[in-house]
């Protein structure tokens, strides 16, 4: 009977063509919407993953992020994966400041655990450094990086700074007492800049500070979130340890600022796009169903007489329903297949076809299953 179906389709070209064009257009719309939604979702995921949300420990007012003299328990808290927030963060940057009295100038010696902890060292922030020691930042040796201009005097090769030449005295910013200590530093590299700062390995600075005051403290802590989606979770977990920074707050505890405003703004826009597209999807499916019904209804309306004739010739209800549906669905199926292949969207194309088929079925099934005498009377 397939031959008859093809002939009937071919001999009603306008109806068939309209069905095909509508099927292609609706299937395209659905596939396009799904592809757009998927693209937005993927972009959203990429943004969630790639957007660098930074967390910074500040004073309670949120006005200062260095010279904090934080007790070591805060440092331990951000590193602790079980009791702290260590499991949720990465790229932890720590600094320890020591005041330095050195012949060329008076200034700071800052212990850093990563080039990202100091602007002058971080290539991403325009900084530059050179170290002969590859493990400078992980080391606990008394090494230092000096401004590039001093490198010519003290660098080039490892130069051990003796106590007297140059002679350095330090005291810890944490200490109320001005205790001093002399020590040697080995210049192992330089950084771009002319500041009166020496950069030390963080662990070395920490140890120097401890030897001065018997206290371990850090002066700045910053990090990036491992998973940006956990920003609210981190806030919740750390609420007992860090206060929410507020310019009017007076609190001995430090604050935790998570710089997520830009991230959340960008995310909100995309989430709104995705939500809007998702609202359109069921509408589009419903439209496909309605068009399927309408096309089926249009096609069947003039066919009741032929259906009755087929039944009187002995075609069973089931076979008639199958034949009628095949006739209605062949071209939409072809359209959906083509669009699905071109747009590489198998599932939406199938969903479109299922909706169209359901609509058609609703239109076709009644006359196909009706008594032939009733169809004859109706026609």
Partner 1 sequence: METVLNVENLSFSYRNKYQTVHAVKQADCAFERGKAYAIVGKSGSGKTTLLSLLAGLETPAGGQILFDGQNTAQMNRDAFRRDNAAVIYQNYNLFPLLTVMENVLYSMKLKGIPGKEARQRAEKELAAVGITEDQFKRFPPQLSGGEQQRVTIARALAAGNEIILADEPTGNLDEGNSELVVDILLRLAHEEGRCVIIITHDGEIAGRMDHIYTMRDGVLEG
The binder of partner 1 chosen from 72, 106, 301, 305 (CB under 8 A): 305
Tell me which of 46, 153, 162, 312 binds partner 1, using CB under 8 A.
Answer: 312
Taking the least distance from each CB to partner 1, the nearer of 8 and 210 is 8
Q: Which residues pair with 217 in a beta bridge?
A: 71
d(CA 1, CA 3): 5
The angle at the Cα of 27, spanning 23 to 30, to the nearest 5 degrees, equals 145
Among residues 12, 35, 64, 192, the one that binds partner 1 under rule CB under 8 A: 12
* Nearer residue to partner 1 within complex by CB, 256 or 310: 310
CB of 379 to partner 1, least distance (A): 7
Residue 299 is a binding residue for partner 1 (CB under 8 A): no
Residue with Cβ nearer partner 1 (56 or 308): 308
Q: Which of 124, 125, 71 is nearest to 96 (CA)?
A: 71
Shortest Å, Cβ 315 to partner 1: 6
Nearest to 57 by CA among 240, 275, 221, 189: 221
Q: What are the φ and ψ backbone dihedral angles of 338, each rounded to 5 degrees? A: -60, -50
Which residue's CB is nearer to partner 1, number 4 or number 233? 4
Stretch that binds partner 1, among 8-16, 23-31, 103-111, 286-294 (CB under 8 A): 8-16
Query: Does residue 230 belong to the site contacting partner 1 (CB under 8 A)?
Result: no
The reply to whether 314 sits near partner 1 by the rule CB under 8 A is yes
Contact 140, 203 (CB under 8 A): yes
- Report which of 214, 210, 224, 227 is spatially closest to residue 114, judged by C-alpha positions: 224
At its nearest, how many Å lie between partner 1 and the CB of residue 27?
Answer: 27
Cβ 7 to partner 1 shortest distance, Å: 7
Q: How many residues bind partner 1, per CB under 8 A?
A: 22
DSSP 8-state code for residue 243? B
- Cβ atoms of residues 144 and 202 within 8 Å: no
| Contact by Cβ (8 Å): 5, 326 | yes
Q: Where are the alpha helices (DSSP H) in the chain?
A: 2-10, 13-50, 72-79, 148-154, 202-213, 231-237, 261-301, 304-312, 317-343, 346-369, 372-378
- Is the separation of the CB atoms in 109 and 166 below 8 Å? no
Residue 306 interacts with partner 1 (CB under 8 A)?
yes
Return the bridge partners of 89, or none. 225
Closer residue to partner 1 in complex, CB, 252/314? 314
Residue 190, strand partner residues:
130, 146
DSSP state of 245: P
- Give the nearest distance from C-beta 376 to partner 1 in angstroms: 7
Residues 359-378 within binding reach of partner 1 (CB under 8 A):
371-373, 376
Beta carbon of residue 272, minimum distance to partner 1 (angstroms, whole number)? 51
Q: To the nearest whole angstrom, how small is the minimum distance from the Cβ of residue 312 to partner 1?
A: 5
Chain position carrying tokens 């068009």: 291
Which stretch in 114-122, 143-151, 155-163, 307-315 sits in contact with partner 1 by CB under 8 A?
307-315
Q: Greatest CA separation found in the chain?
A: 119
Strand partners, 280: none
d(CA 26, CA 55): 47
Is the Cβ of residue 309 or residue 333 nearer to partner 1 in the bound state?
Answer: 309
> Residue from 142, 311, 321, 340 that binds partner 1 (CB under 8 A)?
311
Is 301 near partner 1 (CB under 8 A)?
Answer: no
Residues 38-57 within binding reach of partner 1 (CB under 8 A) = none
- C-alpha neighbours within 13 Å on the C-beta side of residue 227: 9
Taking CB under 8 A as the rule, does residue 315 contact partner 1? yes
Nearest distance from C-beta of residue 313 to partner 1, angstroms: 5
Q: How many residues does the chain have?
A: 379
Asked if residue 379 binds partner 1 (CB under 8 A), the reply is yes
Q: Which one of residues 182, 316, 334, 341 is an interface residue with partner 1 (CB under 8 A)?
A: 316
Which residues form the interface with partner 1 (CB under 8 A)?
Answer: 1, 4, 7-8, 11-12, 305-306, 308-309, 311-317, 371-373, 376, 379
């Amino acid at each position: 009977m397939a031959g008859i179906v093809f002939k009937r389709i071919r001999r009603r070209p306008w109806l068939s063509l309209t069905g095909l064009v509508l099927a292609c257009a609706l299937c395209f719309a659905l596939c396009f919407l799904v592809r757009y939604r998927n693209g937005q979702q993927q972009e959203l995921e990429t943004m969630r993953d790639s957007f660098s949300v930074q967390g910074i420990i500040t004073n309670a007012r949120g006005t200062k992020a260095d010279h904090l003299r934080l007790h070591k328990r805060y440092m331990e808290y951000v590193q602790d994966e079980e009791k702290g927030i260590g499991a949720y963060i990465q790229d932890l940057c720590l600094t320890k400041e020591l005041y330095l009295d050195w012949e060329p100038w008076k200034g700071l010696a800052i212990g850093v655990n990563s080039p990202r902890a100091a602007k002058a060292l971080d290539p991403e922030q325009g900084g530059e450094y050179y170290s002969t020691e590859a493990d400078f930042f992980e080391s606990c040796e008394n090494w230092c990086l000096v401004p590039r201009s001093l490198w010519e005097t003290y660098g080039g090769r490892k130069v051990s700074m003796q106590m007297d030449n140059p002679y350095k005295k330090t005291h810890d910013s944490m200490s109320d007492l001005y205790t001093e200590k002399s020590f040697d530093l080995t210049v192992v590299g330089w950084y771009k800049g002319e500041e009166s700062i020496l950069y030390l390995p963080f662990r070395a600075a920490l140890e120097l500070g401890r030897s001065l005051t018997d206290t371990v403290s850090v002066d700045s802590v910053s990090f990036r979130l491992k998973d940006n989606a956990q920003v609210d979770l981190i806030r919740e977990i750390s609420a007992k340890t860090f206060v929410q920074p507020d310019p009017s707050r007076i609190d001995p505890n430090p604050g935790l600022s998570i710089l997520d405003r830009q991230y959340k703004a960008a995310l909100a826009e995309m989430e709104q796009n995705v939500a809007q597209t998702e609202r359109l999807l069921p509408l589009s499916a419903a439209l496909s169903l309605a068009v399927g019904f309408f096309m089926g209804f249009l096609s069947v309306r003039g066919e009741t007489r032929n259906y009755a004739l087929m039944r009187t010739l002995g075609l069973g209800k089931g076979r008639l329903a199958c034949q009628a549906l095949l006739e209605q669905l062949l071209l939409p199926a072809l359209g959906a297949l083509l669009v699905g292949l071109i747009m590489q969207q198998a599932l939406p194309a199938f969903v479109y076809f299922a909706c169209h088929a359901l609509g058609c079925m609703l239109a076709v099934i009644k006359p196909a299953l009706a008594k032939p005498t009733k169809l004859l009377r109706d026609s």
